[in-house]
Structure 1
């Protein structure tokens, strides 16, 4: 076991448990690699887990972070590094948006369904800083696609991050957690989210 750890480094479970220890999260899940981390921020719950997509002979594992919240006004956005996934938002009628921060706009593509709201969201310098700390990022608001449907009403959307591979870097995971917490607070500040438990609002 020590030999394998020396080659591959600490396991996902070890790293994620250390994350829980540092920020007060809770590790949940089954024995066969189904572990996830749940972190509470005010009334919101942020969920960190992995999932695998199989395509014939190969499979790809993704790390994702999600947090359901009540979307007051239907505001949606997607942000990723320039050159990646650049046509996706346009399919859903979203427009390209610039923040006015020239360096940030050079490195990141933002699409959204409300330019004014997007500018308000990304006017927050801490959000821009935390995004810049991620070597790769796909961060968005997306419709609840059924994962939470048994518990939450229809107006609940997800703040959603996804990246290829398993993140086993505690500092990067902490930065992602901070990004979610700051974004949820900013969404409240601009009137696009409620500071409520989504379970309690109909």
Structure 2
């Protein structure tokens, strides 16, 4: 799909009925882009699959991105803990402890406000979804003096139920940061 779809709805059900129909209409989907407008927020969904060729390996990526409409000094970066993170921690790499045992064992946390991270992820369902992701980055970034919330997952997620579950987490974190 070469064009970005604009999907609007007052409820999550209205939005996901449209996305589900799109995803089910093309089972061999290689690219999908949507601007999702819900409850005064705009979230960009991008699913991209590059099959590679020859000696190229290809890649898969699903990302959610949203502008932060409120300026904040709060920053964080989360990613799935891997073997190299254990080595990095031995040499002093930052990995803050939230107190959520399973989350802390599976996710590397970097932030300038640990108490805010603890509040953001106080919901066990949010933590469960995030810690279930294999290779991901979830962070706030400043580009051209504008803040964005970004979740990148190195997998093409086309299962609409799983994608909706991840969207709910992203939307919830976005609302907690901006409102």
Task: Give the TM-score, by structure 1 length.
Answer: 0.61
**What is the root-mean-square deviation in Å for CA atoms of aligned residues?**
3.6
Query: Which of 173, 176, 187 is the matching residue for 2:166?
Result: 176
Higher relative contact order (CA 8 A, sep 6+): 1
Aligned pairs, number: 154
Query: Which of 38, 42, 49 is the matching residue for 1:41?
Result: 38
> Is the CA contact 1:20–1:37 (under 8 Å) kept in the aligned structure 2?
no
Mapped to 2, the partners of 1:23 and 1:85 lie a distance apart of: 40
Alignment partner, residue 186 of structure 1:
176
> Is the CA contact 2:136–2:154 (under 8 Å) kept in the aligned structure 1?
no
Unmatched runs of 5 consecutive residues or more in structure 1: 1-10, 12-16, 28-32, 147-153, 188-192, 196-202
Change (3 A) 1:165 1:122: closer
Query: Which of 15, 19, 22 is the matching residue for 2:16?
Result: 22
Change (3 A) 1:160 1:69: same
Mapped to 2, the partners of 1:20 and 1:164 lie a distance apart of: 27
Written as runs of structure 1 = structure 2, the 5 A alignment for 1:89-128 is 95-128=94-127
Shift of 1:122: 2.0
Alignment partner, residue 25 of structure 2:
none
Mapped to 2, the partners of 1:127 and 1:42 lie a distance apart of: 20
Shift of 1:62: 2.1
> Is the CA contact 1:133–1:175 (under 8 Å) kept in the aligned structure 2?
no
